[in-house]
């Protein structure tokens, strides 16, 4: 019962556990808890790492029937559940005897060894749920776990097709599989767009053909497609998506001094990229550390979308994106070219008619991303032109996302809103009118984006680890400080309304207070702390003033430039 | 329906234990090994012969087929038609009894079959054994169907008893036992037997032999309670038994000679199951599920009787389908020929029955968090085919089945998988809260197929009609109905009245041959207001109650989505038009939220829809005009999201005046914080959350079912005509309306929406709707007045202060009448006199108020009032009113 046996031939092991079952015992059979047995077997980290990871490259060399790990995102969980029978009667071709075979966790029998017999006597129906999962979209290459599996098989070209409509982002690594869940009671936490790691038995069929029609009671279209199936034994939810090296570093972040130093290093690193601009570095750090930590009355608390304006060109925005890609595990770059926006819907939808052309099940869209992905929207890619119906819808979907962190999925006769938790950054030339962000900060005019010539992996890993840890950290304000803050707010409001009313300036409102509190939280977290102190609060206010000043200067400059342009060409 | 896993107990009800007789296509009996889940499916899979691939289901009742068979005249073998019984009724029954409904899967068991044929169900099976074809088997008194606790004779006796003796009183008594708060009276007519002889008569007259059986009736009749449970557990056996009993009874009492076969369609068995909870223990049981229909396949012909012709001698014969298989004759039966393998299938002369496959998706409210909707496949037969279309919400009762999936012989590895689906027994269009289709809308060349869904063969019988008419005699029916509309929304009475009249609608007129086909009777309503005043809630409510209501949001709609889009049909590969929201709500109410955020292109379509009630489409080679006879209920936010009182109404609502004039009623709802109102509203909302089962809003509220029945009755039966006095009043009101709007402010801009002839038409429609609401066939002066009042309130004409030109919302909210306004003018004069009589050049507000209240006014006025009067004076240039320091200065002239 070695580990290797469990990995290479788990079906065999299961059969050994079940033992021999005779025809009479079939209906009174008590099933042992196989997932628990496997869980216990693979209880320590080393053993778990021995299980091969399933992805596009490793699939080429994995044999059907191996135990695998599949870290993935749930793309579609609206597939009909399947009925199967626990037991089947088969005839062993070698020994020519009949026996009852336990048929859970596998769908196929090897034709050379076994022959199928009429199993009506032993039919015991159970049902299982199907979930379609794909590789994590936007997963940056540094974050992926390297496969440790020693494989003796040579690589074969498997008969495997990708259903392009079911992947949000086009990528070489796109890989999808159907996961069969046997434990239906716990299947409620398998929500859409969440990341799980499934441990189960891989199964695929070499010569599978696709059935076309719906009208007959053929197999479900998706299950008859040549994609691999995984019979899931158990699963874990994955919170962060970094690789193990980073995880190690995270564990080292306990010492106060280490935290402070790391924080300074991070700001230095980021500001070096922006020609020494500390302010931008701070705000970018805030954005990367933010997440939605509660939803009150459909108001997402904790959202912090950032608009970096004064971006001169698309090349600059590409540079900025490359920078971000290196430090967060999941990110995606959304360009807004006309052709793209006008043709494909950004949010997922479902057709009533399933066909190969129209898409099967839930058709994905670029916004079907997991929580915590950094979405960089590049407005500089928008050119002049006409936006048609789909384009309008896409812009409104994006607007909804920015305002409420919700994405509307279209199900033909009705729509459903799914909550999202993406870190939003907009890169634009002027202040973005299309995508109202919480915080706008302009780049300094002479900024070049310096890419890191000699990438120091160690430093990068520290940064990545720090951001990961602070993202899921808790946060508290103690009551006294909270009272002070609210007193301050009320006083400020009163002062504003009493003083000479400048109608252009808005009176401090509810939204402003929320924003300030959020910013304070992010500031605290970015320092690796979990408690707000007076010092941090004051710092936040200072930073905000600096940003506001810079923004005002920028706006003034722009207006001046416009004017000077006008005077230069009086004929225009 | 508590079940242990029936599979584990080893009982497979489909297994019988008698020998097979392959040669005759008589009642066949099968061995254990041949019967399996596989063959009990209506669709067969197997690789034996051609016939098997024809995927036929067992023959359903198909009355005509009997006649056809006799005309075909061929040698039917030992078909039951040849069995001539002396009793005519027996003949009629037995000829069709062999054929069982498609939705029951494989036919009845040979035992049952034999019993039915011999007519030996109602009496002791011992006594009757007439025909020679039956093998002489010992017939015992109690015959069970294998694997069940069903005694055939008992079951049919129970059902017969139920049919003859069930009364509504039983049902009411049972309801009372369950829930003591139910207080329905038992009237003498409830003591009459419910089913016979009434149903009998109606069925024979209408020649529709479907009985929609409400299973709650079955449950509440004490003696048939075990039958109810057996029905749910063994529907495949019980339903044919019920069919047989009903057929017999009908046959006994009818004079005709044509064979009939009655179908029993049970529904309302109890709680409906969530689609996700269907699991293997429900297989072969009767279940109810609710959902949204998303896909309907084309009609599939199901082979029932195959027609074979010998290629040698041209001898022909027919073979019935039996248990899903058609036995292809190996040898030609003609004695002269006897060629083997020479029989060809002639498909033109085969007899088919209809089958259709539906796909039902979970309703959006049932979907758990973070999941996409699941769907389930359904199979319907015969009469139920095409009774629903995609987009309908349905409640389906049927038998849950599992069949094995086809094994691909070309694969090297074999899979054994099963697919589940439901055989439909009864279809109910969900929610009786929705009003049925307005018959007025049906033009001359259109036909609407009505499908009976429930027990009552008439939708509203006389008693209910009397009730409704009584209800309408109530003097305050108008207020009651308005209050019952969206009772959970507090206030907004005028808006509710407007929406109520919209649901009733004016009278549609057909002008006949040429030109515009219709004069519309639909009323369109626009609600503009500050956020947070439950506009959207009102829309949702109307959407729920209105027939064919579509709810769309302005932001999310495109021009194409509203009208019709061109897509490619995946099956026929042709370009087809798919209706958009407006076309789908034909005959109903289209609720549009966020109207102002709709793009202009989208809004331009509404121009045409609202006036001509049609949608013109010219795209992709399809040039046509579709009907969109819908009322539009739209809701918008003012520009700046909060109503800016400094701007005029036209500027606030960012809609072109042309579009605004197409709306009959335009409501403006402001959110003014007012302590008294807010407290009441808060209390109301809190109460909503406290009370658990059904909020009792008071006796005044009319429940939803009656409400919709009332509206439905009014729309179908009442067509009011305007009488002379009303006509005169209309003209007078219209001219008044025109005049009042010619006020413009100092800059000469038009501040309000001017009245056009559209307003006159609106008034006509509103008065007709009001008359319809009273169930009166004549439009009277009172109706016209009410319509006029509604229009004026909606148009804010009564709220415009002619002096300042600003809208003063207090006037609307507090309901000032014009009498009050003229009073205000007097008060103003008085106040001015008082101010002028004071010696000091300036006076404080509070002092002035005191003086005023003591001396001048006949009634004390509130602070707000006072301030307003002062404002007016200030605007007139009579005084200087400094609000901040609360000082009034006289202006020296």
Mean pLDDT computed over every residue of chain B: 68
Q: Where are the alpha helices (DSSP H) in B49-151?
A: 63-72, 88-97, 110-117
pTM of the model: 0.65
Q: Among B276, B371, B415, select the one facing A108 at the smallest CB separation.
A: B415
Q: Which range is most confident: A283-292, A506-515, B56-65?
A: A283-292
Q: Which of B36, B292, B416 to mutate to test the interface with A (most CBs of A within 10 A)?
A: B416
The superfamily CATH assigns to domain B486-672 is P-loop containing nucleotide triphosphate hydrolases (3.40.50.300)
Contacts B555 to A, Cβ<8 Å: 396
Asked if B662 and B675 touch (Cβ cutoff 8 Å), the reply is no
Contact indicator for B482, B493 with CB cutoff of 8 Å: yes
Q: pLDDT (tens digit, 9 = 90+) per residue, A487-519?
A: 787 777 777 766 655 544 555 666 777 788 888
Greater confidence (B118 vs A554) lies with A554
Q: Given this model, what pLDDT does residue A198 score?
A: 92
Instruction: Domain B812-890: give its CATH architecture.
Output: Orthogonal Bundle (1.10)
Report CB contact under 8 Å: B55, A414. no
Chain A: closest CA distance from residue B296 (Å): 9
The kind and range of the H/E element at B773 are helix B757-773
> What per-residue confidence (pLDDT) applies to B447?
45
Mean pLDDT of B824-839: 78
User: Mean pLDDT, to the nearest integer, of B726-731?
Assistant: 90
Q: Determine whether the interchain pair A116/B416 forms a contact, defined as Cβ–Cβ distance below 8 Å.
A: yes
Q: Which residue has the tokens 């947070």?
A: B532
Q: Does the structure show a pLDDT above 90 at A375?
A: yes
| A411/B373 CB distance under 8 A | yes
Residue of A296 and B52 predicted with greater confidence: A296
- Residues in chain A within 8 Å Cβ distance of B415: 107-108
CB B64 within 8 A of CB B96: no
The CA distance from A152 to the nearest CA of chain B, in Å, is 24
ipTM topping 0.85:
no
Where residue B406 falls among pLDDT bands split at 50, 70, 90? low
Torsion angle, alpha carbons of B833, B838, B844, B849, to 10: -50
The yes-or-no verdict on residue B787 having pLDDT over 50 is: yes
Write down the pLDDT at residue A374: 92
Mean pLDDT to the nearest integer, B417-433? 77
Q: Over range A367-387, report the average pLDDT.
A: 89
Q: Is the pLDDT of residue B745 over 70?
A: no
The pLDDT value recorded for residue B34 is 30
User: A191 phi and psi, to 5 degrees?
Assistant: -85, 160
Residue B409 with chain A: CB contacts under 8 Å:
none
CB-closest option in B38, B294, B558 to A389: B558
Residue-level pLDDT at A456: 77
Q: Assess whether pLDDT exceeds 80 at residue A225.
A: no
Residue B3 confidence class, pLDDT cut points 50, 70, 90: very low
Q: Which of A109, A191, A193 sits opposite B413 (nearest CB)?
A: A109
Whether the Cβ atoms of residue A87 and residue B380 lie closer than 8 Å to each other: no
User: How would you class A146 by CB atoms within 10 Å of its CB: exposed for 0-12, middle for 13-18, buried for 19 or more?
Assistant: exposed
Band of the pLDDT at A157, cuts 50, 70, 90? Answer: low
Q: For residue B686, what pLDDT band results from cuts at 50, 70 and 90? A: low
> Among residues of chain B, what percentage have pLDDT more than 70?
61
- DSSP class of residue A26 equals G
What backbone phi and psi angles, to 5 degrees, belong to B549?
-80, 140
Q: Which two tokens stand for residue B444?
A: 């001359």
The fold of the B285-434 domain, in CATH, is: OB fold (Dihydrolipoamide Acetyltransferase, E2P) (2.40.50)
Q: How far is B570 from chain A (nearest CA, A)?
A: 8
Residue A355 has its nearest CB partner, among B368, B560, B570, at B570
Average pLDDT over residues A447-451: 72
Q: Could you give all domains of chain A from N- to C-terminal order, each with its CATH number?
A: 3-210+218-238 (2.40.50.140), 245-472 (3.40.50.300), 473-571 (no CATH)
Which of A253-267, A360-374, A487-501, B376-390 shows the lowest mean pLDDT across its residues? A487-501
CATH of the structural domain B152-267, one choice from 3.40.50.720, 3.30.1640.10, 3.40.50.2000, 3.20.20.80: 3.30.1640.10
Residue B322: pLDDT over 80: no
CA distances (Å), B672 to each of A376, B497, B643, B683, B816, in order?
41, 21, 10, 17, 17
pLDDT of residue B672: 59
Question: What 8-state DSSP symbol labels residue A413?
Answer: S
With beta carbons less than 8 A apart as the criterion, state whether B231 and B243 touch: no
**DSSP tag of B638:** P
Q: Of B614, B662, B631, give the one whose Cα is nearest residue B548.
A: B631
Nearest-5° Cα angle at B866, B862 to B868: 120
Average of pLDDT values for A73-80?
88
Tokens of A51: 């299980």
Cβ-contact B460, B434 below 8 angstroms:
no
- DSSP codes joined into one string, A219-260: --TTTTSS--EEEEEEEEE------HHHHHHHHHTTSHHHHH
CA distance B376 to B372: 13
Q: A565 CA to chain B: closest CA distance, Å?
A: 32
Whether the per-residue pLDDT at A376 is higher than 90: the answer is yes
Question: Stretch B597-609: mean pLDDT, rounded?
Answer: 79
Chain segment B567-593, per-residue pLDDT in tens: 766 555 677 667 677 776 667 788 888
Measured between CB atoms, which of B36, B364, B414 is closest to A416?
A: B364
> Contact A389/B559, CB-based, under 8 Å?
yes
B424 CA: distance to closest CA in chain A (Å) = 15
The pLDDT tens digits of the residues spanning B235-250 come to 888 888 888 888 888 7
Place of tokens 């269009």: B429
Residue A424 clears pLDDT 90, i.e. is over it = yes
Q: Give the pLDDT score at B517.
A: 58
Mean pLDDT computed over B628-653: 73
DSSP state of B343: E
- Reported as a pLDDT band with limits 50, 70 and 90, residue A350 is confident
Mean of pLDDT values over B762-772: 90
Q: Which of B128-132, B636-640, B836-840 has the lowest mean pLDDT?
A: B128-132
Confidence at residue B256, expressed as pLDDT on a 0 to 100 scale: 67
Highest averaged pLDDT of the listed ranges A215-229, A257-271, B176-190 = A257-271
Token pair of B462 as six digits: 């006389």
Which value, in Å, is the radius of gyration of the alpha carbons in chain B? 36
* pLDDT at A73 (0 to 100): 92
**Model confidence over B256-278: pLDDT tens digits?**
666 677 788 888 888 888 888 88
- Which chain A residues contact residue B389 at CB under 8 A? none
Write down the domain spans for chain B. 152-267, 285-434, 486-672, 718-744+754-807, 812-890
Query: Which of A77, A126, A219 shows the shortest C-beta gap to B372?
Result: A77
Name chain B contacts of A125, Cβ cutoff 8 Å: 7, 280, 283, 402, 418
Torsion of CA A317, A323, A328, A330, to 10 degrees: 40
pLDDT at A524: 86
At B597, is the pLDDT very low, low, confident or very high (cuts 50, 70, 90)? confident
């Amino acid at each position: 019962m070695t580990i290797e046996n469990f990995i290479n031939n788990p079906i065999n092991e299961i059969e050994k556990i079940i033992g021999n079952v005779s025809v009479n015992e079939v209906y009174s059979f008590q099933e042992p808890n196989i997932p628990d047995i496997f869980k216990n077997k693979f209880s320590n980290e080393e053993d778990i790492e021995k299980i091969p990871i399933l992805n596009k490259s490793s699939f080429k060399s994995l044999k059907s029937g191996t135990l695998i790990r599949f870290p993935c995102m749930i793309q579609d969980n609206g597939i009909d559940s399947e009925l199967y029978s626990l037991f089947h009667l088969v005839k062993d071709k070698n020994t020519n005897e009949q026996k009852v075979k336990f048929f859970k966790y596998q769908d196929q029998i090897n034709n050379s060894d076994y022959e199928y017999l009429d199993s009506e006597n032993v039919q015991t129906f159970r049902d299982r749920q199907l979930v379609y999962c794909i590789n994590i979209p936007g997963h940056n290459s540094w974050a992926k776990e390297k496969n440790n599996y020693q494989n003796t098989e040579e690589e074969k070209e498997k008969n495997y097709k990708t259903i392009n409509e079911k992947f949000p982002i086009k990528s070489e690594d796109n890989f999808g599989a159907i996961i069969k869940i046997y434990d239906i009671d716990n299947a409620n936490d398998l929500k859409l767009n969440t990341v799980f790691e499934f441990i189960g038995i891989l199964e695929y069929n070499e010569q599978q053909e696709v059935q076309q029609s719906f009208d007959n009671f053929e197999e479900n279209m998706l299950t008859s497609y040549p994609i691999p199936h995984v019979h899931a034994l158990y699963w874990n939810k994955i919170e962060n998506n970094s690789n193990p090296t980073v995880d190690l570093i995270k564990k080292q972040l306990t010492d106060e001094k280490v935290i402070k130093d790391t924080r300074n290093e991070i700001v230095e690193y980021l500001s070096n990229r922006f020609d020494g601009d500390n302010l931008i570095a701070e705000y970018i750090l805030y954005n990367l550390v933010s997440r939605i930590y509660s939803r009150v009355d459909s108001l997402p608390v904790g959202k912090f979308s950032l608009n970096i304006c004064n971006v001169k060109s698309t090349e600059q925005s590409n540079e900025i994106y490359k920078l971000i890609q290196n430090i967060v595990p999941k990110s995606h770059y959304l360009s807004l070219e006309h052709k793209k926006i006008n043709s494909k819907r950004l949010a997922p939808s479902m057709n009533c008619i399933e066909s190969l052309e129209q898409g099967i099940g839930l058709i994905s869209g670029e916004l079907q991303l997991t929580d915590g992905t950094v979405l960089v929207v590049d407005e500089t890619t928008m050119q002049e032109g006409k936006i048609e119906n789909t384009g309008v819808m896409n812009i409104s979907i994006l607007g909804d996302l920015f305002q409420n962190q919700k994405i509307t999925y279209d199900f033909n006769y009705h729509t459903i809103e799914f909550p999202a938790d993406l870190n939003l950054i907009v890169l634009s030339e002027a202040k973005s009118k299309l995508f109202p962000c919480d915080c706008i900060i302009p780049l300094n005019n002479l900024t070049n984006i310096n890419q890191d010539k000699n990438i120091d992996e160690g430093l990068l890993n520290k940064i990545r680890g720090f951001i990961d840890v602070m993202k899921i950290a808790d946060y508290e304000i103690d009551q006294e400080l909270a009272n002070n803050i609210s007193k301050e707010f009320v006083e400020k409001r009163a002062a504003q309304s009493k003083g000479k009313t400048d109608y252009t300036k808005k009176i401090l409102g509810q939204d402003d207070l929320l924003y300030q509190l959020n910013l304070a939280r992010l500031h605290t977290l970015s320092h690796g702390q979990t408690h707000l102190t007076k010092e941090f609060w004051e710092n936040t206010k200072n930073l905000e003033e600096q940003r506001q000043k810079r923004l005002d200067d920028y706006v003034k400059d722009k207006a001046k430039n416009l004017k000077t342009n006008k005077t230069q060409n009086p004929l225009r | 329906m508590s079940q242990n896993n029936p599979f584990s107990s080893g009982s497979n009800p489909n297994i019988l234990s008698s020998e097979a007789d392959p040669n005759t296509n008589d009642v066949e009996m099968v061995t254990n090994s041949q019967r399996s889940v596989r063959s009990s499916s209506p669709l067969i899979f197997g690789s034996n012969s051609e016939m098997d691939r024809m995927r036929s289901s067992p023959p359903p009742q198909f009355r005509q087929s009997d006649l056809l068979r006799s005309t075909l005249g061929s040698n039917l073998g030992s078909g039951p038609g040849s069995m001539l019984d002396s009793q005519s009724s027996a003949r009629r029954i037995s000829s069709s009894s062999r054929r069982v409904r498609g939705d029951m899967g494989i036919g009845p068991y040979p035992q049952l079959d034999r019993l039915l044929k011999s007519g030996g169900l109602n009496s002791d099976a011992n006594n009757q054994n007439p025909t020679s074809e039956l093998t002489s088997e010992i017939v015992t008194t109690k015959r069970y169907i294998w694997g069940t606790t069903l005694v055939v004779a008992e079951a049919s006796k129970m059902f017969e008893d139920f049919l003859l003796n069930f009364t509504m009183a039983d049902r009411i008594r049972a309801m009372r036992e369950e829930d003591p708060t139910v207080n329905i009276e038992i009237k003498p007519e409830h003591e009459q037997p419910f089913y016979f002889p009434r149903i009998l008569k109606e069925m024979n007259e209408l020649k529709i032999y479907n009985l929609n059986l409400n299973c709650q009736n079955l449950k509440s009749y004490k003696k048939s309670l075990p039958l109810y449970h057996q029905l749910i557990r063994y529907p495949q056996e019980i339903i044919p038994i019920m069919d047989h009993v009903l057929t017999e009874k009908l046959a006994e009492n009818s004079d005709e000679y044509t064979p009939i076969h009655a179908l029993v369609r049970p529904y309302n068995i109890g709680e409906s199951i969530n689609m996700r909870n269907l699991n293997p223990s429900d297989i072969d049981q009767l279940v109810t599920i609710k959902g949204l229909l998303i896909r309907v396949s084309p009609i599939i012909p199901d082979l029932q009787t195959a027609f074979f012709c010998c290629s040698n001698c041209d001898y022909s014969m027919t073979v019935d389908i039996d248990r899903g298989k058609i036995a292809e004759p190996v040898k030609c039966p003609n004695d002269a020929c006897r060629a083997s393998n020479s029989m060809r299938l002639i498909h033109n002369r085969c007899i088919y029955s209809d089958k259709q496959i539906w796909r039902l998706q979970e309703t959006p409210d049932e979907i758990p968090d973070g999941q996409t909707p699941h769907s389930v496949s359904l199979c319907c037969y015969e009469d139920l085919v095409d009774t629903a279309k995609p987009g309908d919400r349905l409640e389906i009762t049927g038998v849950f089945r599992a069949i094995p999936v086809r094994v691909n012989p070309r694969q090297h590895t074999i899979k054994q998988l099963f697919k589940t689906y439901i055989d439909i027994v009864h279809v109910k269009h969900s929610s009786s809260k929705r009003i049925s289709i307005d018959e007025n809308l049906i033009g001359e060349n259109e036909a609407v197929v009505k499908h009976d869904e429930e027990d009552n063969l008439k939708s509203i019988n006389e008693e209910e009609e009397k009730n409704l008419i009584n209800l309408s005699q109530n003097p305050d029916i108008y207020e009651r109905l308005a209050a019952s509309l969206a009772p959970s929304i507090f206030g907004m009475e005028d808006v509710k009245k407007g929406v109520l009249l919209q649901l009733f609608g004016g009278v549609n007129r057909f002008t006949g041959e040429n030109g515009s086909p219709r004069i519309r009777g639909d009323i369109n309503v626009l609600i503009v207001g500050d956020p947070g005043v439950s506009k959207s809630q009102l829309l949702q409510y109307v959407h729920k109650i209105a027939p064919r209501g579509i709810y769309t949001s302005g932001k999310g709609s495109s021009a194409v989505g509203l009208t019709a889009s061109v897509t490619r049909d995946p099956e026929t590969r042709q370009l087809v038009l798919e209706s958009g929201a407006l076309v789908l709500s034909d005959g109903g109410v289209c609720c549009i939220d966020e109207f102002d955020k709709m793009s202009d292109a989208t809004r331009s379509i509404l121009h045409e829809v609202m006036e001509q009630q049609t949608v013109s489409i010219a795209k992709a080679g399809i040039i046509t005009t579709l009907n969109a006879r819908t009322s539009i209920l739209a809701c918008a936010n003012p520009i700046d999201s909060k109503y800016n009182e400094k701007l005029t109404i036209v500027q606030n609502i960012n809609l072109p005046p042309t579009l605004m004039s197409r709306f009959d009623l335009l409501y403006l709802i402001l959110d003014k914080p007012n302590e008294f109102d807010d407290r009441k509203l808060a209390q109301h909302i809190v109460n909503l959350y406290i009370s658990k089962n059904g909020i009792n809003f008071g006796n005044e509220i009319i429940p939803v079912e009656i409400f919709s029945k009332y509206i439905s009755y009014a729309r179908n039966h009442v067509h009011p005509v305007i009488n002379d006095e009303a006509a005169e009043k209309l003209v007078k009101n219209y001219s008044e309306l025109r005049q009042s709007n010619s006020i413009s402010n100092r800059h000469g801009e038009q501040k309000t929406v001017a009245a056009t002839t559209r307003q006159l038409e609106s008034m006509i429609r509103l008065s007709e709707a009001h008359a319809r609401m009273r169930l009166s066939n004549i439009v009277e002066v009172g109706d016209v007045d009410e319509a006029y009042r509604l229009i004026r309130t909606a148009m804010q004409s009564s709220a415009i202060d002619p002096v300042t030109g600003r809208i003063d919302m207090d006037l609307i909210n507090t309901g000032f009448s014009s009498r009050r306004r003229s009073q205000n003018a007097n008060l103003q004069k008085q106040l001015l006199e008082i101010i002028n009589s004071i010696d000091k050049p300036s006076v404080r507000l509070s002092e002035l108020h005191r003086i005023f209240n003591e001396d001048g006014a006949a009634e004390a006025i509130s602070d707000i009032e006072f301030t307003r009067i002062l404002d007016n004076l200030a605007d007139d240039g009579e005084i200087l009113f400094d609000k901040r320091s609360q000082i009034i200065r006289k202006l020296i002239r």
